Amino acid sequence: TSVQWFPGHMAKTRRKIKEALPLVDLVAELLDARVPMASRNPELRSIVGQKPRIVLLNKSDTADEAVTRQWIAAFAKEGVPAIAVDCKSGKGLNGVLPLARQVLKDKIAAWERKGMGSRPIRIMVVGIPNVGKSSFINRLAKGGKAKVADRPGVTRGNQWFSIGKGGELLDTPGVLWPKFDDPAVGERLAFTGAVKDDVVDTEGLACRLLLWLRDQYPGRLAERYSLTGFEDMAGHELLYAVAKKRGMLISGGELDTERAAATVLDEFRGGKLGRISLERPEGSL
Ligand code: G4P
């Protein structure tokens, strides 16, 4: 997604989320399980304030399971209940409403005392572009858009979806941004493909990914590209080695590093190098 964030758009999203907050019981923040920090919106905590919040680590099918468990523990320590989900297959999604109920148990008990026990739980789903919000809504929405036109305080343009078994989902009002002024964040998002390659230097990006894999997951690199003795290779040397192993040549017999770069990025994103987490929790979040 080559979305550009401008101060005006950001202010508008901030305002729209704040306006919609009184309409929901809970905010569900979708993060990419491979990069839970880079895929966060740096201001969400302050925008959401006291409203209960849960974290859904999406695309967990592509992340290292052990690391995802560490993230879940780290979020729990911060008082934010988190679970792993996979909106591609639907795995983990039946845990979302039970988690929401758990978080809201006092509120639900109060509803029951008032004879409002059947009131649906209203959840606002938020996340930066490409994190899987549409997939999440498509998977959970039962019977299309919820009929909420007669609900007081509903801002026109807000999209509500019924998710069955007593839940309703509100799509993010506006487009959330990542911490885009941090180059490391931009790079990790680019590795995952959340930033379109036509706005980044593909060969440079592939070289940096290869370097990172050399240090963090050397076994996967060795296996995928039949490489040996690459511990001290620089990024561009690794890219040459991949091009050579794959027989990627351009006319004249030179190595086609552009094609090798696209291949490495594609295969990483497509899970061909296995389940890999790009970020690990260290200390506090
Ligand atoms: P957004 O609304 O937040 O922008 O995200 P969206 O649902 O459009 O998802 C962005 C991309 O992430 C899509 O891939 C989608 O299929 C993929 N995706 C969403 N959830 C998961 C998940 O749990 N696991 C995996 N592996 N992928 C997920 P795409 O390349 O844009 O389309 P396509 O590959 O589905 O054709």
The domain locations on the chain are 7-170, 201-269
Using the mean position of ligand 1's atoms as its centre, give its distance from the Cα of residue 129 in Å.
Answer: 10
For ligand 1, pick from 61, 86, 87 the residue to mutate: most ligand atoms within 8 Å of CB.
87
CATH topology of domain 7-170: Rossmann fold (3.40.50)
The pLDDT tens digits of the residues spanning 191-249 come to 999 887 666 789 999 999 999 999 999 999 999 999 999 999 999 999 999 999 999 99
Low-confidence ranges of the chain (pLDDT < 50): 1, 149-150, 284
201-269: CATH topology: Conserved Hypothetical Protein Ylqf; Chain: A; domain 2 (1.10.1580)
ipTM of the complex: 0.97
**The pairing of beta strand 167-170 with beta strand 160-162:** antiparallel
CA count, 13 A, side-chain hemisphere, 62:
24
Q: How many Cβ atoms are within 10 Å of 118's Cβ, its own excluded? A: 8
Residue 143's pLDDT is what? 60
Ligand 1 centre distance from Cα of residue 174 (Å): 18
- Nearest-atom index, ligand 1, CA of 129: 4
* φ/ψ (deg, to 5) at 204: -60, -40
- The position carrying tokens 């964030």 is 5
